[in-house]
Chain A
Amino acid sequence: MSDTAPFRPFAAGTQPPLDHAAYGSTHLRHPKRALRPLAQTVSETTGPHFTPALFPEIGDLTKQAKGEPLGERIIVAGRVTDEDGRPIPNTMVEVWQANAAGRYAHPRDTHDAPADPNFPGEGRVFTDAQGHYRFVTIKPGAYPWRNHHNAWRPVHIHFSLFGTGFAQRLITQMYFSGDPLLALDPIYHGIADAGARDRLVSRFDLDITEPEWALGYRFDIVLRGRGATPFEEAH
């Protein structure tokens, strides 16, 4: 597969729409005109290449201040592949999250929950040659968000990925299994396909867990594949 082959369209129902009535902030921010289809060119099939030399890793979010942040230490790890199962090596993964009390180290976060001076909440890691990544953090807290009466975001960690071409750029959120707030969250339920929703939910993993130290969660990420699928005519 050429590294400039165009990326495939997304499978139906697996990506959320821009216009989603249940999520209030979409009302004035979604375009009214249909998106204009663009045949991918080098501007879409190529993309930035980051290195730890210029973009240093922040692999342990609990070690970014003088003291230890409060909360439950956890390990999050997984693999980044494309839709053909090929690993995406040496790609940058950015993460950010609220502290254990559900508050971000952000001036606009006014949630009445304690700030944690020992938790800035930013991470940045690179995948290895087989596409594996791993970082250490604390489990974030749920927080209210005023979208509707008594609205609370499920516990989540924000993820940012680049892949090998700008058309693969992905911003998403990782959730935790068993969170009762998932059933009530319009952002999570903006994804029509139940399987695609479920794949945003990380799983407890005893192999990632480290004895006497921290629970481990697995979250695998799939970026768009290049070229035609075996079931599709080449174009």
Chain B
Amino acid sequence: MPAATASQTIGPYWHLIEHKEWADLTRFGAEGERIEVTGRITDGAGDAVVDAAVEIWQASPPADERFPGYGRSATDSDGRFRFVTLKPEAVPGNGNQTQAPHLSVVLLARGLMTALRTRVYFQGEALNETDPLLSSIEDPAERATLIAKPIGAGAWNLDIRLQGAGETVFLEV
């Protein structure tokens, strides 16, 4: 059997498939703790990444007809993305481990030949201390690149740095 098909960049014109409402995961009437998750993406020169597609998938709360669990947001002219979703709860890890609440993130953009993957955790969650991924990252500064901070009622922010000082921890999945 052939190996998996190769990835190619999403390019600068992927907005032909952009539907802005996809960034609101509550649009089908999902009920629960609504949150807003924002962030700004910058490159190795500190410049805004204005043409990225940011995607999230969350295993909690479980997806159903009213909650897709998946969202896509374009970055704007300042490099910012914004999602409205439901706050995830803890999800099982491997073996008998428990993972702290988090969002899985896929980043796609011109200049990214394959998707970049990372996660968004939430500051203040007790389970962050024992989360298998977070607790495996020894450098607190690196760990912090995965943890969103509260910026208002139900509002969380996590900036993403593709390259250089403060570079986000990206994952090989």
Q: How far is the CA of A188 from the CA of B6 in the complex (A)?
A: 10
B126 at interface, CB cutoff 8 A: no
Size bracket of the A interface: 35 or more
B123 at interface, CB cutoff 8 A: no
**Minimum C-beta distance from B58 to chain A (A):** 7
A104 at interface, CB cutoff 8 A: yes
Given A46-B59, A108-B13, the answer on whether A83 and B1 have CB atoms closer than 8 Å is yes
- Is B2 a contact of A42 with CB atoms below 8 Å? no
Q: How far is the CA of A196 from the CA of B2 in the complex (A)?
A: 8
List residues 134-190 of chain A with CB under 8 A from any CB of chain B.
Answer: 158, 160, 166-167, 169-173, 187-188, 190
Binds A, one of B30-38, B41-49, B150-158: B41-49
- Is A83 a contact of B17 with CB atoms below 8 Å? no
- Is B11 a contact of A158 with CB atoms below 8 Å? yes
- Is A41 a contact of B10 with CB atoms below 8 Å? no
B132 at interface, CB cutoff 8 A: yes
Partner of A18, one of B14, B59, B112, B132: B112
B69 at interface, CB cutoff 8 A: yes
Given A172-B7, A197-B6, the answer on whether A158 and B14 have CB atoms closer than 8 Å is yes
- Is A38 a contact of B115 with CB atoms below 8 Å? no
Q: How far is the CA of A41 from the CA of B16 in the complex (A)?
A: 32
Given A16-B7, A106-B15, the answer on whether A31 and B163 have CB atoms closer than 8 Å is yes
- Is A122 a contact of B16 with CB atoms below 8 Å? yes
B109 at interface, CB cutoff 8 A: yes
The interface on chain B, measured as residues whose beta carbon lies within 8 A of the other chain's beta carbons, has a size of 64
Interface centre among A32, A35, A83, A222 (most CB of B within 10 A): A35
- Is B59 a contact of A48 with CB atoms below 8 Å? no
- Is A121 a contact of B170 with CB atoms below 8 Å? no
- Is B1 a contact of A38 with CB atoms below 8 Å? no
Q: How far is the CA of A146 from the CA of B68 in the complex (A)?
A: 39
- Is A39 a contact of B132 with CB atoms below 8 Å? yes
A11 at interface, CB cutoff 8 A: yes
- Is A200 a contact of B5 with CB atoms below 8 Å? yes
- CB-defined interface of B52-73 with A at 8 Å, one 1/0 digit per residue? 0001011100010000111000
Given A28-B163, A41-B93, A43-B57, the answer on whether A104 and B5 have CB atoms closer than 8 Å is no
- Which residues of A have CB within 8 Å of B43? 28-29
A72 at interface, CB cutoff 8 A: no
A70 at interface, CB cutoff 8 A: no
Partner of B68, one of A36, A48, A83, A199: A48
- Is B113 a contact of A106 with CB atoms below 8 Å? no
Q: How far is the CA of A85 from the CA of B2 in the complex (A)?
A: 9
- Which residues of B have CB within 8 Å of A106? 12-13, 15-16
Given A43-B59, A43-B104, the answer on whether A14 and B3 have CB atoms closer than 8 Å is yes
B144 at interface, CB cutoff 8 A: no
Residue of A at shortest CB range from B146?
A: A36
- Which residues of B have CB within 8 Å of A121? 16
Q: How far is the CA of A170 from the CA of B12 in the complex (A)?
A: 17
- Is A83 a contact of B57 with CB atoms below 8 Å? no
- Which residues of A have CB within 8 Å of B57? 43, 47-48, 166
Given A106-B16, A167-B173, the answer on whether A83 and B6 have CB atoms closer than 8 Å is no
Binding site for A on B (CB under 8 A): 1-17, 28, 43-45, 47, 49, 51, 55, 57-59, 63, 68-70, 91-94, 99, 102, 104, 106, 108-117, 119, 132-133, 137, 162-164, 167-173
Closest 8 CB pairs of A and B: A25-B111, A48-B70, A16-B113, A35-B172, A29-B111, A11-B3, A28-B44, A96-B16
Known: A44-B173, A83-B1. 14 other contacts (CB 8 A): A36-B169, A39-B94, A41-B93, A42-B92, A43-B59, A44-B104, A48-B70, A54-B68, A95-B17, A104-B13, A169-B106, A171-B9, A187-B9, A195-B2
